[in-house]
Amino acid sequence: MFDVIIAGCGPTGAMLAAELRLHDVRVLVVEKEPEPVSSYVRVVSLHIRSIELMAMRGLLDRLLAHGRQRPVGGVFAGIPKPAPEDLDSAYDYLLGIPQPVIDRLLEEHAVDLGAQVRRGCAVAGVEQDDEGVTVELADGERLRSRYLVGCDGARSTVRKLLGVGFPGEPSRNDTLMGELEAAASPEEIAAKVAEVRSRAFSFAPFGEGVYRVVIPAAGVSEDRTEPPTIEDFAQQLHALVGTDFGVHSPHWLSRFGDATRLVEQYRVGRVLLAGDAAHIHPPAGGQGLNLGVQDAVNLGWKLAAQIQGWAPETLLDTYHAERHPVAAGVLANTRAQVALSGADPSSQAVRQLVTELMDVDEVNRRLIEKITATGIRYDFGAESELVGRRLVDVELGEGRVFDRLRAGRGLVLDRTGLLGVGGWSDRVDLVADSGAGIEVSAVLVRPDGYVAWVGEGQGELDEQLSRWFGVAR
């Protein structure tokens, strides 16, 4: 019997498996695809908060070796504004990285920590009772675990078997996106693109003779499961621009819609949902993968605590309470970005207004914080502005604070030298450092990097340790 079965070995599932293994949870990941997908090399962007999480777990150097750093500006609706100065992060950049690479690196990380991954295993049935979950695979094999987490994407089988509502709007407009090479000269391409006044179209240089192409899919096959072809792109370019620029040698091609949905519940008994299984939205701002990875880091330590028996009674329920509003915010901002990208006069008028407003530093900063997830503040019922927010990677007398969070444990960072963690030392580390780069006396940091308490009294600290880390031993 496993402690947790995870359906889906994409970035969300692999990251969750790794987070659970930090706490010695017995994890099996089942993935319906027999081999990792390598037929495309779509480049995705890790945003600031996801980069911070990778740094927290010691993964960032591996990713940097395969990625390309670029400025954060221009992430909201593609409005070309530079990022404000001082984004309050040691990692204030975007990291472009091929999707298959991040999939592989996160899976390797999970396996290195002891997770089991079984490919070619599709979930076909789910039954849960008071003691656990029975998962039936497509070949008839039945597996048993204490919990099941569906990380199996937008068409999640686990979500459908669970019967939980997935309200929202269906896709109304499909778009083709890809990275292709072109025979036409850069000057010819730039001149033609300048003539086309449509926010739904883009033919932008991506470096080394490659262009990132975005174009409406109207007129292409209505079967969304059928992968697009280079001929589809050429057809659409001819229809909209009058030329296909001699596109050839596609690096990757994809098709996406603007469906926007959010699951009603992230948890039903012993079954939970994460990533695209819980929320889907247009790719505006490139937030999808980031949102899923952040779901995994929020859930991992809480589910591990439940399995190990020290979780406070309501801890696992805070997963839905915290992440559902975050996803709702992402859906809202992607809807807004889509509205700002319309070609009609009203959409263009609003876009021009927002473009002007973004010249105000605080407006620009707020919008970037929405996309990069650095503006999240969970409601922990505390007055301190820092509580509920992420702790940035501050310097310590030796090293940085993220170095102390690699094991996925809680952390008390104490500048007074007077505090202790007592009976919570098996779950929470103590760093007494008078030179720590925080402006308060002490903080309690959860394993996901969010501040749970600010203060200086041992009694107050013990109360919050009990709230988040259970009974002292």
| Confidence (pLDDT) at 223 | 67
**Closest alpha carbon to 369 in 86, 100, 152, 151:** 86
Mean pLDDT by 10 residues, the chain (473 residues): 97 98 98 77 87 98 95 90 92 93 96 98 97 97 98 96 95 85 92 74 81 84 76 91 92 84 98 98 91 98 98 97 98 92 85 95 96 97 93 94 98 97 98 94 98 97 98 95
The architecture in CATH of the region 175-256 reads: 2-Layer Sandwich (3.30)
Q: In the structure encoding, which two tokens stand for residue 294, read together?
A: 């952040």
| Close Cβ partners of 18 (under 8 Å, ≥ 6 residues apart) | 57, 106, 109, 110, 113, 115, 300
User: What CATH topology corresponds to 2-168+261-372?
Assistant: FAD/NAD(P)-binding domain (3.50.50)
Model pLDDT, residue 343: 72
Domain boundaries, the chain: 2-168+261-372, 175-256, 401-469
User: 3-state DSSP helix/strand/coil percent for the chain, to nearest 5?
Assistant: 35, 25, 40
Strands 442-445 and 451-455: antiparallel
Question: Residue 121: its pLDDT value, please?
Answer: 96
State how far the Cα of 95 lies from the Cα of 381, in Å rounded to an integer. Answer: 34
CB 412 within 8 A of CB 429: yes
pLDDT at 224: 65
CATH class of 401-469: alpha beta
Instruction: Return the DSSP state at 344.
Output: S
Domains 2-168+261-372 and 401-469 share a fold: no
* pLDDT at res. 382: 86
Distance between CA atoms of residues 101 and 450, nearest Å? 28
pLDDT, residue 367, reads: 97
Give residue 300's identity as a one-letter amino acid code: G
Q: Where are the alpha helices (DSSP H) in 85-202?
A: 99-112, 157-162, 186-195
Q: What is the pLDDT of residue 199?
A: 59
